[in-house]
């Protein structure tokens, strides 16, 4: 075996070891955050930690539910993305998840309350009436969903902003990256990251047309078919507004 081959194998081993350690760090971190959140909730209900019931029109539990949803999706990624599918470069993203989840939960509830105000109702939590309790539960469900699917929520907000700020404009598709950028010959699931992908018509990997698993304005999730030989093949996305192309590697 040549020196280059040995160096390649050592580099692959080191990268795999680093990715495995990264997954373990994220798992421990998110586990500790989850324990802290449950401890905080327990102390709150035991009146050890005294907090206001609401911040203005936002119930105090909204950021808590958003953070829990964000931690759960991060933990799901730890178990779903194993081996080479895990990227240690995303580690900081995982560390920021609880704070991002809490923030987007508050924003999501504010948007929902703006819709309630638009029809002339009062969105403010009520401490005494059962209607207020039910209203709070609706806010908590929204907060958890938004925290859990933060990326989808951002895409919805972005799409709404595009409609408001640039109505009637079409956006040609662009592909910024493919994650992971390579798969074994057996194929597997990948994410195509970009913009203007929502009005999808077709996706081709090499000469094979692929049905996507999930489609949004900013990403496509699809399962690439098996290949007979290793190498780089074109990946083409066709939408109603145009087409975009990049490459994908079978290893």
Question: Residues 6 or more apart from 186 whose CB is under 8 A from it?
Answer: 226
pLDDT at res. 11: 47
Tokens standing for 102? Answer: 């809490």
pLDDT at res. 72: 93
Burial of 101 (0-12, 13-18, 19+ CB in 10 A): buried
Give the range with max mean pLDDT: 50-59, 67-76, 200-209.
Answer: 67-76
Whether residues 127 and 190 share a domain: the answer is no
Q: For residue 178, which phi and psi values (nearest 5 degrees)? A: -125, 125
Does the residue 214 lie in any domain?
yes
Q: Where are the beta strands (DSSP E) in 54-185?
A: 54-55, 58-59, 174-179, 182-183
Does the residue 169 lie in any domain?
no
The pTM assigned to this predicted structure is 0.60
Query: How far apart (Å, rounded) are the C-alpha atoms in residues 153 and 68?
Result: 16
pLDDT at res. 130: 45
User: What tens digit of pLDDT does each residue of 17-71 get?
Assistant: 667 888 888 999 999 999 999 999 999 888 888 888 888 888 889 999 999 999 9
Whether residues 130 and 200 share a domain: the answer is no
Could you say which of 163, 188, 205 is where a domain stops? Answer: 163
Query: How far apart (Å, rounded) are the C-alpha atoms in residues 231 and 102?
Result: 43
Comparing CA positions, the residue from 46, 50, 53, 52 lying closest to residue 128 is 53
Whether residues 93 and 210 share a domain: the answer is no
Give the residue carrying structure tokens 């938004």. Answer: 146
Given a cut of 50, whether residue 128 has pLDDT beyond it is no
Could you say which of 163, 186, 217 is where a domain stops? Answer: 163
- Structural domain harbouring 184: 174-250
Cα 85 to Cα 16, 95, 122, 188, 189: the distances in Å are 10, 18, 47, 10, 9
pLDDT at res. 170: 57
Q: What is the residue-averaged pLDDT of the chain?
A: 81
User: What tens digit of pLDDT does each residue of 132-144 get?
Assistant: 456 688 899 999 9
CATH number, position 206: 2.60.40.10
Omega before 54 within 30 of 0, i.e. cis = no
Give every strand in the sheet of 174-179, ordered side by side.
174-179, 188-195, 219-224, 214-215
Query: How far apart (Å, rounded) are the C-alpha atoms in residues 69 and 149?
Result: 8
Question: Residues 6 or more apart from 27 whose CB is under 8 A from it?
Answer: 75, 78
pLDDT at res. 10: 47
Burial of 113 (0-12, 13-18, 19+ CB in 10 A): buried
Given CA atoms 54, 59, 64, 67 in this order, what sign does their dihedral have? negative
pLDDT at res. 169: 55
In percent, the amount of the chain with pLDDT more than 90 equals 21
Q: What is the CA radius of gyration of the chain?
A: 22
User: What tens digit of pLDDT does each residue of 164-190 get?
Assistant: 766 555 568 888 888 888 888 888 888
Number of domains observed in the structure of the chain? 2
Whether residues 221 and 133 share a domain: the answer is no
Query: How far apart (Å, rounded) are the C-alpha atoms in residues 13 and 119?
Result: 60
């Amino acid at each position: 075996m040549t020196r280059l081959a040995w160096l390649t194998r050592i580099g692959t081993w080191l990268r795999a070891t680093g990715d495995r350690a990264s997954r373990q760090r994220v798992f421990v971190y998110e586990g500790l955050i989850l324990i802290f959140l449950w401890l905080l909730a327990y102390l709150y209900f035991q009146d050890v930690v005294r907090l206001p019931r609401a911040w203005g029109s936002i119930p105090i539990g909204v950021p808590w539910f958003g953070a829990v949803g964000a931690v759960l999706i991060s933990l799901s990624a730890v178990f779903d993305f194993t081996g080479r599918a895990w990227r240690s470069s995303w580690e900081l993203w995982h560390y920021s998840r609880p704070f991002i989840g809490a923030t987007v939960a508050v924003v999501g509830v504010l948007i929902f309350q703006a819709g309630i105000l638009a029809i002339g109702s009062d969105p403010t939590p009520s401490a005494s009436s059962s209607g207020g309790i039910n209203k709070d539960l609706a806010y908590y469900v929204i907060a958890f969903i938004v925290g859990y699917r933060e990326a989808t929520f951002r895409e919805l907000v972005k799409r709404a902003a595009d409609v408001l700020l640039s109505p009637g404009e079409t956006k040609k598709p662009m592909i910024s990256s493919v994650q992971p950028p390579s798969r074994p010959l057996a194929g597997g699931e990948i994410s195509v990251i970009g913009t203007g992908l929502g009005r999808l018509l077709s996706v081709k990997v090499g000469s094979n047309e692929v049905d996507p698993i999930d489609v949004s304005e900013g990403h496509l999730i699809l399962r690439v078919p098996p290949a007979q030989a290793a190498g780089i093949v074109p990946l083409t996305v066709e939408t109603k507004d145009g087409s975009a192309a990049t490459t994908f590697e079978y290893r």
